[in-house]
């Protein structure tokens, strides 16, 4: 992967940034992914939501959070009275990382180096959108935004004030909820996730 430390261009607008990101080769994940899945939403959104990386369906569609995890997320938003179209929704990593298994593509977690390379884009998305509140869904988003490797349970559910005075709110990743095998535990975890998202809604009124 090519390591770039200085901005090659000042993209300036979110559309220019998205255009630049289409050709990203900052790490090797572009080789196997279908396309860059960039953030989407209003450039003046008050809330920015950051996930981990696109999944199988997002990779094919080119849009974040439109697959199974997206459904859990949208359901929580709707219950909290939030409209996805008012949020800027993006990911820490913009290319789908997977392991081929037969016809299936199995999600693989991005490593620290990949997250650090892709922070290039996330940082610029934040600079342009200037959200009042950033919601980190999962440990990868938290690490990308803060360099912190806290246990999610230690930091979730309460706004954290960052160095740049922005507010960060941490919750779990919706894909994690889908992977909880026990139905009762899963329903409890989904309920807590919904509570977190309702808290987000109350933070910005
Ligand atoms: N999981 C994520 O973190 N982001 C997506 O866009 C889809 C699934």
Domain boundaries defined on the chain: 14-203
Residue 8, exposed/middle/buried by CB under 10 A (0-12, 13-18, 19+)?
Answer: exposed
- CATH classification number, 14-203, choose in 3.30.70.1350, 3.40.470.10, 3.40.50.150, 3.30.300.30: 3.40.470.10
* Cα 169 to ligand 1 centre (Å): 17
- Ligand 1 contacts CB of residue 131 (under 6 A): no
- Ligand 1 contacts CB of residue 168 (under 6 A): no
Kindly give the confidence (pLDDT) of every residue in the chain, 205 residues in length, as a single tens digit, with 9 standing for 90 and above. Answer: 444 444 545 678 999 999 999 999 999 999 999 999 999 999 999 999 999 999 999 999 999 999 999 999 999 999 999 999 999 999 999 999 999 999 999 999 999 999 999 999 999 999 999 999 999 999 999 999 999 999 999 999 999 998 888 899 999 999 999 999 999 999 999 999 999 999 999 999 8
Q: What does DSSP say about strands 167-171 and 133-137: parallel, antiparallel, or unpaired?
A: parallel
* Cα 149 to ligand 1 centre (Å): 19
Provide CB contacts within 8 A for 3, sequence distance 6+: 26, 117
DSSP 8-state class, residue 18: H
Report the nearest atom of ligand 1 relative to the CA of 173. 3
* Pick from 115, 119, 94, 97: nearest CA to 106: 97
- Ligand 1 contacts CB of residue 54 (under 6 A): yes
Q: Is the ipTM of this complex over 0.90?
A: yes
Residue 107, exposed/middle/buried by CB under 10 A (0-12, 13-18, 19+)?
Answer: middle
**Inter-axis angle of helices 68-79 and 183-203, to 10 degrees?**
50
């Amino acid at each position: 992967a090519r390591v770039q430390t200085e901005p090659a261009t000042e993209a300036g607008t979110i559309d220019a940034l998205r255009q630049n990101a289409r050709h990203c080769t900052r790490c090797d994940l572009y080789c196997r992914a279908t396309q860059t899945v960039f953030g989407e939403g209003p450039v003046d959104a008050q809330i920015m939501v950051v996930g981990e990386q696109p999944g199988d369906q997002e990779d094919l569609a080119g849009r974040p959070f439109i697959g199974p995890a997206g459904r859990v997320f949208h359901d929580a938003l709707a219950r909290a009275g939030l409209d996805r179209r008012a949020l800027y929704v993006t990911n820490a990593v913009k290319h789908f990382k997977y392991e081929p298994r037969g016809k299936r593509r199995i999600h693989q977690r991005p490593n620290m180096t990949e997250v650090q390379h892709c922070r290039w884009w996330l940082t610029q998305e934040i600079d342009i959108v200037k959200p009042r509140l950033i919601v980190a869904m999962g440990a990868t988003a938290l690490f990308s935004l803060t360099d912190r490797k806290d246990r999610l349970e230690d930091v979730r559910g309460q706004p954290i004030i960052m160095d740049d005075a922005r507010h960060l709110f941490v919750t779990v990743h919706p894909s994690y909820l889908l992977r909880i095998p026990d139905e009762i535990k899963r329903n409890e975890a989904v309920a807590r996730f919904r509570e977190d998202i309702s808290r987000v809604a109350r933070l910005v009124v």
